[in-house]
Amino acid sequence: MSTQVTSAAAEFARRQQSPLQRVQHQLHGRPWLSPLFLLFVAFVAFFIGSPTFLTASSMGILLQQTAVVAALAVGQTIVILTAGIDLSVGAVMVLSMMVMATLAKDDGMPGILALAIGVLLATAAGALNGFLVTRINLPPFIVTLGTLSIFTAIALLYSGGESIQADHLPGLLNFLGDGFGIGQFRLTWGIVLVILIYAVMGFVLSQTAWGRYVYAVGDDPESARLSGVPSKRILLAVYTVAGLIYGLAAWILIGRSGAATPNAFPDANLASITAVVIGGTSLFGGRGRLVGTLIGALIVQTLQFGLSQMGVDQQWRVLATGILVIVAVAVDQWIRKVKS
């Protein structure tokens, strides 16, 4: 009397999976695969489309262009992991950059001091966001929408709306634009700093109690509080650390663009959010990996860079980024619906 008795459900479980279902299954088990796959597709497409795309020098430039967004997206990721959102990323970075540059302009202040004040200011700006979210209990969207305007205005008022060119700045502020070459492939110290930020933050998120609390607060704040997680302290710390990272991004941006400009990088907010979302982090909080964000930032920049190498206009590149976001999130939703 062995295996002749089969239920309809058992029959269903043994059904043949279509190749598409098998792909879906694999992606479900390894969520970082889908952005990686997307990146791979983009590389293959541009390799075919543009002869100069997959060369050592092009790759170096691609990484340099990715550095600032990738750095900002680290701060954005930890904020989004707590089910928040930060619309003030770009504003904090620009404010920090203009303060650094103005203080140090024509040796008014030693570079190291100007840098420290700029990064500290960005940290304080992040802490202000955190304070408003945790103590005044305002939604992060509203808080950062407000501070976006406030910080942008202060940056413009403080700098008088004028750019400061790199040759008026001390070497330290330009340092992250320097680098070293491996053949045609050129790495800047800014890229090295970005890699460091990812390594440190990745470690903190995955290996420490603080990292677990970030996920816990984002996933279910009430349960986290009842379990003894100091939710408000964690939230405040997250916004503050995010501010610190935006300050470092400001330093990277000066090196990258060779100037401090009050209207630099206008789409920093959306670019950072796009990188996080494409990287598979849930906007509802509690789910996501930092490595996904890095891949997400690379995808956005690869698309921009690849299309410009193929001679596609700026407007079309923006359009492509928009489509990419929607496709990426749609694919993500499809993967989550997997039948296990």
Partner 1 sequence: MTTTSLEVAHGGVPAGKEEIYAKQPVLSARKLVITFGRVVGLDGVDLDLYPGEVLAVIGDNGAGKSTLIKCLTGAYVADSGDITLNGQPVHFKKPQDAREAGIETVYQQLAVIPALDIASNLYLAREERRKGPLGSVLRMLDKKGMERRAGQSVQDLGIQTIQNMSQAVETLSGGQRQAVAVARAAAFGSKVVVLDEPTAALGVKESGMVLDMVKQLRDKGLSVILISHNMPHVWEVADRIHIQRLGGRAGVVTPQTHDMGEGVAIMTGAKRLEGPS
By CB under 8 A, tell whether 210 contacts partner 1.
Answer: yes
Nearest to 339 by CA among 9, 35, 38: 9
Interatomic CA distance for residues 56 and 45, integer angstroms: 17
Alpha helices in the chain, H assignment, sequence order: 8-13, 19-29, 33-49, 56-81, 89-104, 111-134, 140-159, 171-174, 189-207, 209-219, 221-226, 231-257, 268-278, 290-309, 314-336
Q: Which stretch binds partner 1 (CB under 8 A): 70-78, 91-99, 212-220, 315-323?
A: 212-220
Q: Which residue in the set 117, 146, 179, 219 belongs to the binding site for partner 1 (CB under 8 A)?
A: 219
**CB count, 10 Å around CB of 170?**
21
Among the listed residues 26, 220, 317, 320, the single contact to partner 1 using CB under 8 A: 220
In the complex, the smallest distance separating the C-beta of residue 207 from partner 1, rounded to whole angstroms, is 5
Residue 9 vs 326, nearer CB to partner 1:
9
Task: Please identify, among the stretches 87-95, 145-153, 214-222, 327-335, the one whose residues bind partner 1 according to the rule CB under 8 A.
Answer: 214-222
Using CB under 8 A as the binding rule, whether residue 328 contacts partner 1 is answered as no
For 27-40, give one letter per residue: b (16+ CB within 10 A) or e.
Answer: bbeebbbbbbebbe
C-beta of 141 vs 203, nearer to partner 1: 203
Which residues on neighbouring strands pair with residue 77, listed in sequence order?
A: none
Task: Looking at residues 139 to 158 of the shown chain, list those that interact with partner 1 (rule: CB under 8 A).
Answer: none
Of the pair 168, 212, the CB lying nearest partner 1 is at 212
Supply the DSSP string of 37-97, one letter for each residue: HHHHHHHHHHHHH-TTTTSHHHHHHHHHHHHHHHHHHHHHHHHHHTT---TTHHHHHHHHH
Q: Is 196 in the site for partner 1 (CB under 8 A)?
A: no
**Backbone phi, psi, residue 179, to 5°:** -175, -155
- Which of 180, 203 has the CB closer to partner 1? 203
By CB under 8 A, which span of 172-180, 184-192, 207-215, 250-258 interacts with partner 1?
A: 207-215
DSSP state of 339: -
Residue 222 near partner 1 by CB under 8 A: yes
Does 223 bind partner 1 (CB under 8 A)? Our answer is yes
Dist CA 280 CA 2 (whole Å): 46
Q: Is 102 left (phi over 0), alpha (psi -120 to 50) or beta?
A: alpha
Size of site (CB under 8 A) for partner 1: 20
Distance CA 124, CA 241 (A): 10
| Alpha carbon of residue 118 to chain centroid | 20
CB of 282 to partner 1, least distance (A): 9
Which one, 224 or 277, has the nearer CB to partner 1?
A: 224
Site string for partner 1, 273-312 (x = CB under 8 A): -------------xx-------------------------
The reply on whether position 244 binds partner 1 by CB under 8 A is: no
Which one, 112 or 209, has the nearer CB to partner 1?
209
Q: Which stretch binds partner 1 (CB under 8 A): 26-34, 223-231, 246-254, 300-308?
A: 223-231
- Nearest Cα neighbor of 256 from 47, 94, 61 is 61
Question: Looking at 186, 212, 232, 317, which residue binds partner 1 (CB under 8 A)?
Answer: 212
The span from the CA of 106 to the CA of 26, in Å, is 57
Name the residues that contact partner 1, by CB under 8 A: 203, 207-210, 212-213, 215-216, 219-220, 222-224, 226-229, 286-287
